[in-house]
Chain A
Amino acid sequence: MTPAATAVKLTIDGREVTVEPGTTIFDAARRLGIDIPTLCHAQHQTPVGVCRVCTVEVKNHRVLAASCVRPVEEGMEVATASDGVRRARRTLAELLLADHPSPCERQQTTADCELERLGEVYGAGAPRFAARAWPRGLDESSLFIAVDHTACILCDRCIRACTEIKQNNVIGRAGKGYGAGISFDNDLPMAMSSCVGCGECMVTCPTGALTNRKVLDVELPPGEEMGAEELKALPIFARMSGTFLDLNRGAVVRRRVRAGEILCREGDFGSTAFYILSGKVEVSIATPLGHSAARRTAGSGRKGFFRMLTELVKRPPAEVADAAPRYIPIDATVDLDLSNPVAQLGPGDLFGEMTCLSFYPRSATVRAVEETVVLELLRNVLQMLQKDKVFKADLDRRYRERALDTHLRTVPVLSGLSAAFVTRLRDRVHLVRFEPGQDICKQGEAADSFFLIRIGFVKVTQNFPGGDLVVRYLTRPDYFGEIGLLGEGVRTATCTALDHVEVVRIGAEDFRDMMREFPDIEAAMSRVARTRMQSDDRRQDTVSPLALDDFLSQGLMEAQNLLVIDLEKCTRCDVCVRACADAHEGVTRLVRDGLRYDKYLVATSCRSCRDPLCMVGCPVGSIRRHPDSLEIIIEDWCIGCGLCATQCPYGNINLHPFKVVAEDPEHPGVMKAQVREKATTCDLSRDYKEPACVYSCPHDALKRIEPVKFFGIQT
């Protein structure tokens, strides 16, 4: 190679620099520590050179050059801040600001509108030009992202985020010239488009054009914005690109909280994660305690006829007792003990990771125990942190030390593991992270490991003739991968990360050792594996063509169990409704409404779907399928966020207010009666031998029946 092909020498602002050919002037200047302002250029995206703010003067060139796209040339003499350059930048900022709704949404909330800052730096704050005659409008269709087209400067960052970075391919430029704007698909409102709400666009947007909706508690709460230099001084950011931190100014704030102050509340929607720099916080869930207390007292005063009646048929306690200790998984490297759901976190701990990555509700309330300093991070910064090997290793170590034990114990079949074996596993498991949509294992591949889900949701699909079918969703405390290891060594299903998933990976060898050492565990696991395989086989039989239109259009093929009322027998005596209420702390879960087929009413009642969409996203894992049967259970520690109710396609989950006595979050230590919402759905009266409604009907009008039987479909 000739020397010219290997290095290019040029001068920037009078200083010499030698760079590889193909380097842009922008990057070459950065090497010298010269910051060139820009709006459209983001270091992790292909430069497009549309805002022209990064314009520089190149000696003997007719016009200025956009430094983000102009490659260096041998002997170039570049001036990055000449009078002509500064004048052009000032006019460009002024032009954009003339049409900009200052202060825009971003400026109002996080004070980091890059355009408004540029205007300030270049003294273009009060534009002389008239504003656009017609505002370009707001698009508030999306629940997550607010779109203010008027604040859009068409920098293309969101477009590249959507197409290049995330490859969702939704956002583009539409229209032409002064009428051009960003648009979703064929110019649909964001919510109507194929947008998946990943948020990459709003993270990269330099202005208030794309912002997190207020409902999601977007605003970084008042905190100190930290400059790149200051962040780099912190060990966790030491290895991170200064450019990235600089471009993401405002995405990390430092918050100082006094003892007793609350950082976040369970059930609130959020989009940030917290990293503790100093101090100590307490993580807790108020509800299970309060709710259990309420339950204990509810029946004492009044005991209705149906309550007594239903008590007679209550299952003996042994049948429902869960031998394993119960832990509530939360969005941190600790689990909460159900009997005393409080834990402490200290310096170096990260919490709110899942909320931040996947926009789930907060899983717990976090309160400072002493004077505490935390960093509150937006998702892009968290993701960059997670790419840092040192940081990731530290988090993994914390998890292994503090949560692996309880995690294993929460998995019922593993509760019998000896302490010695857990210790052995501690150093041998790997925490592996998967992006949404990524396959964790594929049907037909060789099985080489066993997985426990730490965070996120996993979709299990099987390939049937005619396409893929979702067979189940898994989340904590579920595990998967055992069938392949116990059986023929081949994966029987494809497991895909539905959101940001982290799994604990246990290698085949360790798994086999575990099976050898603990025959009880092997027996239990084989039992579950058999059930899973049987239900898969059953499914294989039933997914064949089902012709009934209603059956398909109403989603009844998803149902495994329907509540059917014979309207000719029913006298509307309401006994079923009252029985249901009595079986469920006075709140009925039975609504006698729904689709009618001939003389039958298919009640709006949980159908125990095959593909229980309701289970996706529960931040505390309180909604799940009964380990041994079909019904969907909502555990007591539900924090009432309402996500499952929103996701049930059939409206079968309702939020009901419960009176509970719980600690007052504003006044730690003070117990007070309060009303809390909890999700409820038909659980087939799981504490009883059969559903209370069916049992209590004096006219024998109610039946729980499998849809295929009800519709008389032959399988």
Chain B
Amino acid sequence: MTGGSPIVAQLREIQRAHGYIPVAALRELSERTGEYLYKLHGVISFFPHFRLQPPPPVEVLVCDDLSCHLRGGAALLAAAQERARNAGPEGTVVRAVSCLGRCDRAPACAVNETIVSRVTLDTLADHIATAAAGERVAGEHVVRGTTPLAVDPYGDGPRYGAARALAASGDAAGVIASLKAAELRGMGGAGFRAGLKWEFVRNAAGDEKYIVCNADESEPGTFKDRFLLENVPHLLVEGMLLAGLVTGARLGIVYIRHEYEGQLEIIEHEIAAARAAGALGPSVFGSGRAFELETFVSPGGYICGEESALLEALEGKRGEPRNKPPFPVTHGLHNKPTVINNVETFAMAPVILARGAEWFRAQGKAGASGLKFVGISGDVVRPGVYEIGMGTPAREVIFDRAGGMAGGRPLKAWAPSGPSSGFLPPSMVDVPLDFDSLAKAGSMLGSGALLALSDTACMLDMALNAVRFFRNESCGKCVPCRVGSAKMVDVLSDIAGGRGRPEHLAMIDDLSHALIQTSICGLGQVVPMPIRSVLTHFRDEVDEHLLHKRCPAHVCPMLGA
């Protein structure tokens, strides 16, 4: 039974010692481990977390993805660069970075790898000064949350009741039946039925199986797993334990993004607590059945949220998605049957067992089943994570729970799940937030990363911003995504730059067809979604840019040829 590859940890160790990965250390590692140089370099150069050059004295990474973009990320980035150029301190490098997962506290930056949020040009200058003085920048203080949640069946009482019961009864089939009855679906975005997945792995041949938790949420607007890791880590641990007992896997791995340092500490603390309570170890609650949990810190990149790319990264390879079939349920980690679920999916499992499938189903609205955690960000008064019944209309989340639009501005558009769901008009704000209703509306529930846009946003600009994110995060393995996403950015930049031509629309159409139909994974398939949704629901705005070389929201540069 082997967990994650030690290579990533070894590279991280070298980087910790030197600040980067020097060639000599790389060669030494290659000789010591027998890993070929080309492989090691392939891994290092793939993940943004690793550096091959010494870091500058002060490195400022500014997020300008959707949520931060709506809160002035682009202007902050430009101003910070300008200031660093003119006023230093010397050696300060300011550049853009992909979503840091602080969408509710936008805009976010990382100064010498410490994440700071709700940044203004002035607070950023203070952080830079601190870093330039060689001191550690004060980041966020992450503590275990105490938000009372309907989802937690234990409250202040003893935890792990569902796992204890299963350990005693051994009724794996009953667990699968309950998950099926509760209609629990994958909360990472794909919505695959969890009960069915667990059953596949349970029935898969072989003794060596794995449970993997995808805690690598990285899409702009997505931060609900961060909230769950902080508030109900015991439900995640218990959910993975349940999956282990049901499928016969003896090892679970929590794959967590490296920007979640505080959350990692919390989950590790909870794993230790579970072990102390007898929930983890060689004999779970005295059942004689073993289950252990470990954590694996992602070396970075949105693509690692794609399940097979995540498994590749876990195996110490470049995080490139695999061709499917076969699927992880039969050929997962180390090619063994693997349950890979999102944090929220695992967390829901003990709730269903503790409170019953009926109770869980009853939490849903408008015919949908269960509870859902949605993160809302963008132009709202109270961005954050809210626990809602599945099927709650977006209107309720935006206008009631999140306090409505910031500054009282009108809602211009909203997205049910970050850039990949595309943008919907206010007229659709009453669509229930559940898998089927949103699919019917030509969008998707995804991970529930709601975005609300006020009338200050330009829809073409938003689509371009979203596509740029996908291009930056494409792994580059398959042609449609690697080249297609770059060309899509080119085309949209041309239109936003006032160089639009009518044939651009046909080009977008051809690109969309190739991306959706031939990409290896979901990333490539969603690249066209933002612009397609804008063309569907905000066509006039695109035509203004394309035909009249005018940006109605006065956002796009429109410089002309």
Contacts and interface: CB of A to CB of B under 8 A. Distances in A.
Contacts of A174: 41-42, 45-46
Interface size class on chain A is 35 or more
Given A175-B45, A178-B474, A186-B26, A92 B480 contact: yes
Nearest to B40: A186
A95 B480 CA distance: 8
A163 B317 CA distance: 15
Given A95-B483, A153-B479, A176-B475, A84 B38 contact: no
A98 interface: yes
Contact of A178 (B36, B39, B485): B485
A64 B516 CA distance: 9
B37 A95 contact: no
Given A51-B479, A154-B482, A180-B482, A95 B473 contact: no
A179 B473 CA distance: 11
Q: Which of B42, B301, B520 has the most CB of A within 10 A?
A: B42
B45 A187 contact: yes
Contacts of B503: 128
Nearest to A71: B325
Q: Which of B485, B486, B518 has the most CB of A within 10 A?
A: B518
The majority secondary structure among interface residues of chain B is: helix
Interface in B16-60: 23, 26-27, 36-42, 45-48
B301 A176 contact: yes
A194 interface: yes
Interface string B510-540: 1101101111100001000000000000000
Contacts of B47: 176
B487 A129 contact: yes
Contact of A95 (B36, B40, B301, B514): B514
B514 A91 contact: yes
Interface in A126-144: 128-130, 132
Given A128-B507, A129-B507, A153-B479, A177 B518 contact: no
Contact of B471 (A96, A169, A177, A187): A177
A90 B484 CA distance: 13
A321 to B, nearest CB: 54
Contact of A171 (B38, B46, B491): B38
Nearest to A40: B479
B318 interface: yes
Contacts of B491: 129
Interface string A165-201: 0000111111111111001111100000010000000
A173 B482 CA distance: 13
B84 interface: no
A184 B517 CA distance: 33
Nearest to A174: B45
Contacts of A163: 36, 38
B536 to A, nearest CB: 19
Contact of B36 (A84, A169, A173): A169
Interface in B489-510: 490-491, 494, 503, 507, 510
Interface in A49-88: 49-53, 55, 63-64, 66, 69-71, 84, 87-88
Interface in A477-512: none
Given A84-B513, A92-B480, A169-B36, A177 B487 contact: no
Contact of B479 (A50, A64, A87): A50
A365 to B, nearest CB: 41
B161 interface: no
Contact of A63 (B23, B27, B525): B525
Interface residues of B, number: 49
B480 to A, nearest CB: 6
Given A98-B483, A179-B476, A186-B37, A55 B42 contact: no
A175 B476 contact: yes
B363 interface: no
Interface in A338-353: none
A49 B323 contact: yes
A631 interface: no
B513 A88 contact: yes
B38 A50 contact: no
A376 interface: no
A331 interface: no
A130 B488 CA distance: 10
Q: Which of B479, B480, B482, B494 has the most CB of A within 10 A?
A: B479
Interface string B42-81: 1001111000000000000000000000000000000000
Contacts of A63: 516-518, 525
Q: Which of A91, A169, A174, A183 has the most CB of B within 10 A?
A: A91
B399 to A, nearest CB: 35
A592 to B, nearest CB: 41
B472 interface: yes
A87 B323 contact: no
B510 A87 contact: yes
B525 A50 contact: no
Contacts of B38: 163, 169-172, 183-186
Nearest to B483: A95
A266 interface: no
Contact of B487 (A53, A95, A172, A180): A95
B289 interface: no
A52 B480 contact: yes
A694 to B, nearest CB: 47
Contacts of A171: 38
Contacts of B507: 128-129
B380 to A, nearest CB: 32
B478 interface: yes
B477 interface: yes
B313 to A, nearest CB: 12
Nearest to A184: B38
A154 B476 contact: yes
B518 A66 contact: yes
A185 B41 contact: yes
A99 interface: yes
B517 A183 contact: no
Given A95-B479, A129-B491, A172 B513 contact: no
Interface string A278-310: 000000000000000000000000000000000
B483 A99 contact: yes
A70 B327 CA distance: 12
Contacts of A64: 517-518
Q: Which of B40, B476, B516 has the most CB of A within 10 A?
A: B476
A169 B477 CA distance: 19
Contacts of B323: 48-49, 66, 69-70
A69 B514 CA distance: 18
A99 B486 CA distance: 11
Contacts of B325: 70-71
Given A186-B37, A186-B40, A50 B478 contact: yes
Contacts of A128: 503, 507
B42 to A, nearest CB: 4
11 contacts: A66-B323, A88-B518, A90-B510, A91-B510, A91-B511, A91-B513, A95-B483, A96-B483, A129-B487, A172-B36, A185-B37
Interface of B: 23, 26-27, 36-42, 45-48, 301, 318, 323, 325, 471-480, 482-487, 490-491, 494, 503, 507, 510-511, 513-514, 516-520, 525
Given A94-B510, A172-B41, A177-B473, 5 more contacts: A52-B480, A52-B520, A98-B487, A176-B301, A177-B472
Chain A to chain B: the 10 pairs with minimum beta-carbon distance, closest first: A172-B38, A180-B476, A91-B514, A186-B41, A52-B518, A95-B483, A177-B474, A185-B37, A172-B42, A177-B476
